[in-house]
Structure 1
Amino acid sequence: MYLPRAFAEDDLAGLDWLLARDPFVTLVSSGTDGLPFASHLPVLHSRQDGSVLLEGHWARPNPQAAHAGPALAIVHGPHHYISPEWYPDKAQAARVPTWNYAVAHLYGTLEPFDDEDALGSIVERLGVRFEAQVGGSWRYDHADPRERSQLRGIVGFRFQAGRIELKFKLNQHHPDATLAGAVAGLQRQPGERASEVAALMAARLAARAPG
């Protein structure tokens, strides 16, 4: 990923926030034809210091389920168009449009598995993670042979991240007044996406303030 120093984040709390916000990642590996192959999957994540683990599963017919080795996981964050109309110096500095966003690229190693107990654990924990969000109460029952038999249709994976790139492109390289103008412009836009980007930018503006 192209990662100018101004937009690079070192604090892995930013990754935790991205994955808590949207744990539906893009998982990219090399296909059998040598071209990139991508799957779009919900994941569970855990972090201990700098060690990050993603867990999930594929449908068994997915060709990526046969891949063990290097892979890239892309974690998607909020993004929004930024109009030069929002900058107080738009005329003097000949400002142009841009797009602000937060994203993470995790480079690591995929380890597929099809152990029944491990697969049951993944399905159970995914259910616990996401059912609450929709007010549901479904729980995987490993003791039910009907549910356990459905595990034959999936392959689990563990993805251990070896290198993590966090990019928060939020006008950090602009003067305070320009950054504040963009924040105000986003705050006038409808939708959660605009407010999320505005909040990220406002936090960086506040961090510049002395004392």
Structure 2
Amino acid sequence: MYRPPYFKQDDPTELHRFMQAHSFSTLVSQQPFMATHLPLLIEEGRISGHVARANQHSKLDGQEVLVMFQGPHAYVSAGWYQQTGEVPTWNYTAVHAYGTFHPVTDPQRVSGHLRQLVTHHEQHQPTPWELDLSEEALQKMARAILVFDIHITRLEGKYKLSQNRTPLERERVVEGLQRKDGKVADLVKKWSP
């Protein structure tokens, strides 16, 4: 990922927090060259997920892959800078995780992954739904998917949030974004130098 110095985010704790907060992501492989959009679970040094066995990604084993996580983003009007000769841009946050793809074949790990995924996404529901299948029924359904782990070898973060602009220009960007997207405006304020 192209990362000018003022947009780089390299703090591993922040990058893991970001990935957990934006865990619906894109898995990209080279052989075959393709992408799959899917929810993932993030742990220190590891990403886990599952794909349908009919998906070509279920055939990966030991390959390096890229997982792209994207956070809030918004258009930035050049008119917000109050100067001529400027151009519009886009503010955004993204993390790329590189690692090695490994299929998970242990039945207990497969069912554990599925239960953990449901629990993770249900925890904030007013009445969390619980996976109430027997282990036998869950294993039968799990035959249609492949659970995998990706052991993270490298992380790259880019928070492009007007850090290269003057304080006055950043204020104007925040004002413009607040009319349109408060989340990105808050990020510009948070990550200002």
Partner of 1:80: 74
Match among 114, 118, 126 for residue 123 of structure 1: 114
Rounded to whole Å, the distance in 1 between the matches of 2:140 and 2:167 is 59
Offset at residue 115 of structure 1 (A): 2.0
Mark the CA change 1:80 to 1:39 in structure 2 (over 3 Å): closer, same or farther. Answer: same
Mapping of 1:110-189 within 5 angstroms? Answer: 110-141=101-132, 143-189=134-180
Which of 64, 69, 87 pairs up with 1:96?
87
Post-superposition CA distance 1:68-111 (Å, at most 9, x none): 111000011111000011113x22xx211000100011111010
Matched, 1:66 2:59: yes
User: What is the CA distance between 1:144 and its match in structure 2?
Assistant: 4.2
Match of 1:119, SS state, is: helix
Identity %: 33
The unaligned stretches of length 5 or more in structure 2 are none
Tell me the SS of whatever aligns to 1:147. Answer: helix
- Give the whole-Å Cα distance in 2 for the aligned partners of 1:105 and 1:169: 14
CA apart distance, 1:19: 2.3
Structure 1, unmatched stretches of 5+, are none
> What displacement does 1:10 show?
1.7
Q: How does 1:6-21 map to 2 (within 5 A)?
A: 6-21=6-21
Provide the aligned length of Structure 1 versus Structure 2.
Answer: 192
Q: In the alignment, residue 153 of structure 1 is paired with which amino acid?
A: A
Amino acid at match of 1:46: E
User: Paired residue for 1:199?
Assistant: 186
Q: Kindly state the Cα deviation for residue 142 of structure 1 after the two structures are TM-superposed.
A: 6.2
TM-score, structure 2 length as denominator? 0.92
Q: What's the TM-score once normalised by structure 1's chain length?
A: 0.85
Amino acid at match of 1:74: M
Deviation at 1:4, TM superposition (A): 1.2
**Corresponding residue of 1:3:** 3
Deviations 1:121-144 (A, max 9, x none): 000000100123444533235644
Letter of the 2:46 partner, please give it: L
Q: State the AA in 2 paired with 1:12.
A: P
Give the 3 Å change call, closer, same or farther, for CA 113–144 of structure 1 in structure 2: closer
1:17 CA displacement: 3.4
SS class of match (2:143): helix
SS in 1 for 2:123: helix
Counterparts of 1:39 and 1:133, CA distance in 2: 26
Check if 1:46 corresponds to 2:39: no
Task: State which drifts further: 10-19 or 174-183.
Answer: 10-19
| 1-structure distance, mates of 2:144, 2:12 | 34
- Report SS of the residue matched to 1:161: strand
- AA at the equivalent of 1:42: P
Contact kept, 8 Å, 1:186 with 1:197, in 2: the verdict is: yes
